[in-house]
């Protein structure tokens, strides 16, 4: 499937493309999951998306913690400043996310009171565990499928022949991640991974890093599936 003009991400011969190629089965299962296909053509059950939205808020809270850990693990003062800015951006995004939830009829108090789903706990705590056990490269690889993957998800949706725009209830979500601003974030994350690959022995560590990348991609796919499962369980 073709990409937007801004993709694919990373540079030829860089770590990100090596990981994406080595874990292409898990990556494709995540980036073109049935949930994503339903976003593209508007056929995704509304309840699936509502459940996803609530859990995505809870995910963002833990994602901010993981990015804060990256400040601790960062390789330089410059990197610490950059990762600190990422943490602040995610915390600001949590407020915007609650506003978006309200547009979907999800009360803020109800969202805040919702417990984390097992898939949310499994994914976010796994990422933190990789960060605690490894170095900054391990942590960034574990984080990459989220940051870069959402850029590619949007790129695939935009390139899909059945892409629906008019009347698609998920249009605002798609546009957000297909935007030039978010695509730049995704490219920046891939470029950072490529730089860390050069400075932290990425080539020699490709096998274990691929396992990390593949597992993170699998957990992302499970996060999509969680939404579909919730809709099926609530169907009359």
**Which residues are tagged catalytic?**
146, 220
Q: What's the angle, vertex CA 116, arms to CA 235 and CA 177, rounded to 5?
A: 80
- Max intra-chain CA distance, the chain: 55
Spatial CA neighbour of 40 closest among 169, 136, 202: 169
Residue closest to 35 by CA, chosen among 230, 221, 199 = 221
Q: Tell me the three state secondary structure of residue 24.
A: helix
Phi, psi of 74 (to 5 degrees): -55, 150
Residue 9 Ramachandran class (φ > 0 left, ψ -120 to 50 alpha, else beta):
beta
């Amino acid at each position: 499937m073709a990409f937007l003009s801004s993709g694919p991400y990373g540079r030829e011969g860089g770590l990100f493309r090596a990981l994406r190629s080595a874990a292409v089965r898990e990556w494709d299962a995540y980036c073109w999951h049935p949930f994503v296909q339903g976003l593209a053509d508007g056929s995704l059950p509304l309840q699936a998306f509502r459940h996803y939205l609530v859990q995505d808020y809870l995910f963002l809270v833990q994602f901010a913690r993981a990015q804060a850990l990256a400040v601790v693990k960062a390789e330089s003062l410059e990197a610490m400043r950059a990762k600190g800015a990422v943490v602040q951006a995610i915390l600001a995004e949590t407020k915007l996310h609650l506003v978006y939830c309200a547009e979907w009829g999800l009360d803020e108090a109800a969202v805040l009171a919702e417990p984390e789903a097992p898939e949310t706990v499994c994914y976010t705590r796994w990422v933190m565990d990789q960060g605690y056990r490894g170095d900054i490269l391990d942590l960034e690889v574990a984080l990459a499928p989220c940051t870069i993957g959402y850029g590619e998800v949007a790129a695939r949706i935009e390139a899909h022949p059945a892409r629906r725009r008019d009347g698609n209830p998920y249009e605002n979500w798609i546009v957000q991640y297909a935007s030039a601003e978010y695509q730049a974030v995704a490219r920046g994350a891939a470029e950072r991974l490529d730089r860390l690959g050069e400075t932290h022995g990425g080539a020699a560590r490709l096998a274990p890093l691929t396992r990390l990348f593949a597992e993170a991609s699998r957990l992302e796919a499970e996060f999509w599936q969680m939404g579909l499962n919730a809709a099926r369980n609530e169907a009359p």
